[in-house]
Structure 1
């Protein structure tokens, strides 16, 4: 997907692409490196270069990114004597080794700009300024070491440190956030740079869908450049997918769409992509003026500002209105300009408005999912199944290692989400706890716990996003003599952010207790220091049941398909949907687990986890006013994530295999494959602007609505307002657009005739069917 995504970014007016370098992906085992396939960093940078774009290499190597363990490999945490992100010799040696490795690879391919390559900036560390106060003096010593180490690598391009107000020279400190117009670098000679303009927000299991409007995002960008900005990067421009077990958090979803201008599946997120494209064009038309001009700034009060950039040959203007309710009139050079509330107008010549952030001329695309079956593919899938073999752990308590204590789950080097904790407890007839009302009580750390006592399932529990501890307690029946206690801990991505995030306990830190109650008297038997046996991962993982070449593939059962059964593997075959549209698999009806297509992990799934019920509004989102991730959310009470991306590169034209491990219990018969594409597109162009419509590679089949004047409603429910142009507007648009993949029409009286719209801003509004 890289070439297509990068091409779409370039078409959207992007001229540089940032990428993290994920240490845990590239060095999963100490001194064993992987830069192949999806981890081919050099190929990615060269793909950027082939489109004529620049690259920004954010090595980190701590990246945060809602990525598992912040991008650190788990073996790093388990090195003797290590302390992460501080002046610790063990950690710094490993960090320098990996950073040097990456730099040497890039230098060898001559990819730094100093060598004629595309990389214009490099980053060391990441948002350390947000946590440095917790590390004290050794944190400052580490920061200085980072700067010196980076400089010693002699890459020939500037090094940046984001969110680092005390970045030592020559490091350039940069801003991350929703708005960075008021940011000032700590060095007056440093450029004003914005490394992360958050286009939306990430999702967690139980969280709602974010929306940051195109108007507000454009306002933030235009205002940044109005106030002297020199470099701005979107986080994310393409959000993508947390395939495999890469999602961190814990509790970050497999989707990382981020409401980005290019959505998770590679489609254009309209109108955001198109509105920003127009903004980028306006800014680039002023490039020389902005980079060479003298700046004059006038504060007109009530949030209204006027900024002029002037050279000897050219002059450019920004008129800003940060008022959240009231439009403003700006008088300039004998003219008056209307600036809507919460918007910025850009005038490349200070005479004509070329762009206003509140006036969206881009189309809106309504994406639809279709059950687009392949030729001769049946509507429903034929499933096989097999149980996860739990006899060794639940019944016999056999494992890989034993300790006389409870173990942090990070100690297994993150080779699986699953770790079995097993012990036994002897209860004699004369034990004081015997005749009491008994329960098992476990202190867990926010991820998932399944408990078994004497081979019987007792119950499960988990916390939610941002919660690190919970107490599981269920009544149990014990017998005289030996009782087998088995706990299965399942992680959902390790903590990726915060001071000392690496020290947060995972799995079952304890205590684990048998609690007996009789009247007001309670007796507690603590099992935490018992001999615990551990088994890493699932039996099906060990046998690689998700792989096509698994030697155990013959043991699947076709009869008596169980549903709502915990710890069950399912398998089916399917043909890829016809065409080239992105493919998703709808996992509605399943509980929680992991999915693979042809052996490629498409990530964790958890459609049974519903988003919170509160906080969504039925009213259209008002772009005016400061944005945060709680504004303009949707999907309340619905599955946090129902559809999961299956890249076409994971599939073949012949038979494909889908394998599921179902942890909670669900019904696979409801699973289906679908394609995603624009179903309806609605064009919107102010008078004397050109409206562009596109169905992204498929023809426009019909025009449902067209009006030049004023129109009301939203895409799919448009109606004519108080004025309109010619009655044959639909025919005009039909002739220009139907049967074409894209079309352009000028919104003007010359095309659509005069209107009775005195005092009303005229727009061409069209609804087309793809």
Structure 2
């Protein structure tokens, strides 16, 4: 039995929690065991994970706990390796994940108040928790499972101070069977600890990346000297955004010294031990000075790379942990096989505009509809209308538009706006009396942290101005690209327009590989229908990781959707990682 007294106890004996974060939803299930075994070999005795609401209830009232979403199987795999589990099942997770794990369909309620005591929101949380904890509750340590702790909300002190909201979450968790100790995690600023903790019901833990003595001192002053100290997120890396110039990297030697100090004083959870991949359209974004979406890789400069290789950081941490572990740690594991499959040539290419009817059903409206109003979560929306008589357009503006828009006139690109450029006045010439305006808007990832959570509707929410007046009469083509098999490659291709490119890769044996997207513009890649994630010529990521389980022996189909008209007639599969 797990208990929190002046320290953490298991079956009456003090234990040192050495935990690493792995997000099951960022790793293909076939590799869960490999990544967990490597955690044990580094010296970990616990794995920590979030449970993202938008993964498990992708559409309101429709739940998914299969495949990569099978959280129970992930936890059972950890138990089979004698690992404890910490679960953070909050409605909100941050995690540099799309909308911080919140489902976008919440935004259909124009009055929605997120992460606070707003009854319609709490009603939806209640319904979700009832289903989620049917998966989690039987796996608690009190029921013979490996789960020793669960977290209430996530870094709530940096968002709000609504203790009534926290109280409801605790009540719901207990109502649906949670009886292991509860925890919170926050920064150590006094406001954060005061705002986000609920000490009567949940043990406070803290998050930091350096100067652990100071942060543990702040926590100890807050909770007293007779409680265990734990860093729930020891930030030993950081995420990377598109356009950063390079991957974020940290000094593992200094972090190893910090780890030793932490373990001398308390308990640790590495964030991240293994980051994984933002497959599909699930990368999050931040908004501080400007909108900043994250790359497809969630490598995080973690001890275990995105593709599961050990690093010098891993070895340095392992050496420190061995000093706190009486038993000899397992031998270093072998890397997962990687293969250079070479280059494959283009089979066929077709334009998006010629495939609209087979990929989407047009929705008519006098005004522009947001992605959420179209019952769409991710991907793209194409807005279409006739521009009227030929004339000069001296004041063209896209109002309330997120996140990136390309304007085409009769299929030719006129302009592109992104982030802060959106809404800026533009001028151009309408050269014919019968012109079609297409506006392709991309959701590049909803913000996952901070006050901008409330402003995450995508598409065009306010309207389009032409010569200072709103345009009416729009046909909307939702393009979530969840039906890539409906692309008809027999249809024509027009250069310099958004397109689909078809490649085929034939292999005798499956292995991990990397697709090199150098020379391509912007878009997403599908392998056998699986959305690997985004690429973008601005970098710093130019290669996409392809886990072997996504491939199949024999013929594999690769489809590249590209929006800038920057395409190549071959695709390179290499065994060389991005760095």
Q: Do residues 412 (structure 1) and 374 (structure 2) align?
A: yes
Deviation at residue 272 of structure 1 after TM alignment? 0.5
Deviation at residue 588 of structure 1 after TM alignment? 1.0
> Cα distance 1:500–1:152, how it changes in 2: closer, same or farther (>3 A)?
farther
Q: Do residues 388 (structure 1) and 351 (structure 2) align?
A: yes
Deviation at residue 657 of structure 1 after TM alignment? 1.4
Q: Paired residue for 2:561?
A: 661
Provide the rounded CA distance (Å) in 1 between the counterparts of 2:233 and 2:518. 34
- Retained in 1: the 8 A contact 2:408–2:415? yes
Provide the rounded CA distance (Å) in 2 between the counterparts of 1:19 and 1:36. 17
> Cα distance 1:199–1:412, how it changes in 2: closer, same or farther (>3 A)?
farther
Give the alignment's Cα RMSD to 1 decimal.
3.2
Deviation at residue 591 of structure 1 after TM alignment? 0.6
Provide the rounded CA distance (Å) in 2 between the counterparts of 1:106 and 1:386. 46
Q: Paired residue for 1:238?
A: 274
Provide the rounded CA distance (Å) in 2 between the counterparts of 1:513 and 1:469. 12
1:26 to 56, 59, 80: 56
What pairs with 1:458-607 in structure 2 (closer than 5 Å)? 458-463=414-419, 469=422, 471=424, 473-477=426-430, 479=432, 484-510=436-462, 512-515=464-467, 525-527=468-470, 530-537=472-479, 541=481, 544-545=483-484, 547=485, 555=490, 565-576=496-507, 580=511, 582-606=512-536
> Cα distance 1:526–1:195, how it changes in 2: closer, same or farther (>3 A)?
same
Provide the rounded CA distance (Å) in 1 between the counterparts of 2:346 and 2:530. 19
Q: Paired residue for 1:422?
A: 384
Provide the rounded CA distance (Å) in 2 between the counterparts of 1:566 and 1:479. 20
Deviation by residue 1:289-338 (Cα, 9 ceiling, x = unmatched): xxxxxxxxxxxxxxxxxxxxxxxxxxxxxxxxxxxxxxxxxxxxxxxxxx
- Retained in 2: the 8 A contact 1:439–1:476? no
Deviation at residue 424 of structure 1 after TM alignment? 4.2
Q: Paired residue for 1:352?
A: none
Deviation at residue 45 of structure 1 after TM alignment? 0.3
Deviation by residue 1:652-697 (Cα, 9 ceiling, x = unmatched): 1212111111111223335211114899xxxxxxxxxxxxxxxxxx
SS at match of 1:216: helix
Q: Paired residue for 2:5?
A: none
Deviation at residue 11 of structure 1 after TM alignment? 0.4
- Retained in 1: the 8 A contact 2:510–2:549? no
Q: Paired residue for 2:284?
A: 248
> Cα distance 1:405–1:504, how it changes in 2: closer, same or farther (>3 A)?
same
Q: Paired residue for 2:3?
A: none
Q: Paired residue for 2:325?
A: 284
Provide the rounded CA distance (Å) in 2 between the counterparts of 1:506 and 1:217. 39
- Retained in 1: the 8 A contact 2:277–2:298? yes
Deviation at residue 440 of structure 1 after TM alignment? 2.5
- Retained in 2: the 8 A contact 1:176–1:197? yes
Provide the rounded CA distance (Å) in 2 between the counterparts of 1:17 and 1:60. 17
**Which structure 1 residue ranges, 5 or more long, are not aligned?**
134-138, 287-361, 374-378, 429-433, 516-524, 610-638, 680-770
Provide the rounded CA distance (Å) in 2 between the counterparts of 1:676 and 1:30. 41
Provide the rounded CA distance (Å) in 1 between the counterparts of 2:338 and 2:425. 42
Q: Paired residue for 1:674?
A: 574
Q: Paired residue for 1:310?
A: none
Q: Do residues 150 (structure 1) and 173 (structure 2) align?
A: yes
1:259 to 292, 295, 301: 301
Deviation at residue 457 of structure 1 after TM alignment? 2.9
Deviation at residue 499 of structure 1 after TM alignment? 2.2
Q: Do residues 403 (structure 1) and 439 (structure 2) align?
A: no
> Cα distance 1:393–1:151, how it changes in 2: closer, same or farther (>3 A)?
closer
SS at match of 1:555: coil
Q: Do residues 203 (structure 1) and 236 (structure 2) align?
A: no
SS at match of 2:373: helix
Provide the rounded CA distance (Å) in 2 between the counterparts of 1:514 and 1:253. 34
Deviation at residue 47 of structure 1 after TM alignment? 0.6
Q: Do residues 219 (structure 1) and 257 (structure 2) align?
A: yes
> Cα distance 1:677–1:387, how it changes in 2: closer, same or farther (>3 A)?
closer
- Retained in 2: the 8 A contact 1:242–1:255? yes
Deviation at residue 556 of structure 1 after TM alignment? 6.9
Q: Do residues 450 (structure 1) and 406 (structure 2) align?
A: yes
Q: Paired residue for 1:296?
A: none
> Cα distance 1:468–1:238, how it changes in 2: closer, same or farther (>3 A)?
farther
SS at match of 1:512: strand
Provide the rounded CA distance (Å) in 2 between the counterparts of 1:199 and 1:190. 25
- Tell me the matched-pair count: 522
Determine which structure has the larger helix proportion and give its number: 2
> Cα distance 1:148–1:419, how it changes in 2: closer, same or farther (>3 A)?
same
Deviation at residue 245 of structure 1 after TM alignment? 1.2
SS at match of 2:573: strand
Q: Paired residue for 1:176?
A: 207
Provide the rounded CA distance (Å) in 1 between the counterparts of 2:496 and 2:48. 44
Could you state the TM-score of these two structures normalised by the residue count of structure 2? 0.82
> Cα distance 1:380–1:187, how it changes in 2: closer, same or farther (>3 A)?
closer
- Retained in 2: the 8 A contact 1:393–1:422? no
Deviation by residue 1:444-501 (Cα, 9 ceiling, x = unmatched): 64521111235543122213xxx59552624122556x65433111111111111251
Deviation at residue 60 of structure 1 after TM alignment? 1.0
Q: Paired residue for 2:155?
A: 127
Deviation by residue 1:191-220 (Cα, 9 ceiling, x = unmatched): 211111112111111012111121122122
Q: Which stretch of the first structure deviates more once superposed, 8-17 or 173-182?
A: 173-182
1:268 to 310, 319, 322: 310
> Cα distance 1:452–1:151, how it changes in 2: closer, same or farther (>3 A)?
same
Provide the rounded CA distance (Å) in 1 between the counterparts of 2:506 and 2:491. 20
1:118 to 124, 146, 151: 146
Q: Paired residue for 2:12?
A: none
- Retained in 1: the 8 A contact 2:259–2:317? no
- Retained in 1: the 8 A contact 2:354–2:491? no
> Cα distance 1:266–1:509, how it changes in 2: closer, same or farther (>3 A)?
same
Provide the rounded CA distance (Å) in 2 between the counterparts of 1:526 and 1:178. 51
Deviation by residue 1:110-139 (Cα, 9 ceiling, x = unmatched): 310111211011012111110115xxxxx3
Q: Paired residue for 1:718?
A: none
What pairs with 1:706-725 in structure 2 (closer than 5 Å)? none
> Cα distance 1:648–1:425, how it changes in 2: closer, same or farther (>3 A)?
closer
Provide the rounded CA distance (Å) in 1 between the counterparts of 2:474 and 2:455. 22
Provide the rounded CA distance (Å) in 2 between the counterparts of 1:668 and 1:456. 20
Provide the rounded CA distance (Å) in 2 between the counterparts of 1:672 and 1:565. 22
Could you state the TM-score of these two structures normalised by the residue count of structure 1? 0.63
Q: Paired residue for 1:5?
A: 35
**Which structure 2 residue ranges, 5 or more long, are not aligned?**
1-30, 187-191, 286-291
Deviation at residue 140 of structure 1 after TM alignment? 3.2
SS at match of 2:123: helix
> Cα distance 1:392–1:655, how it changes in 2: closer, same or farther (>3 A)?
closer
Provide the rounded CA distance (Å) in 2 between the counterparts of 1:29 and 1:21. 16
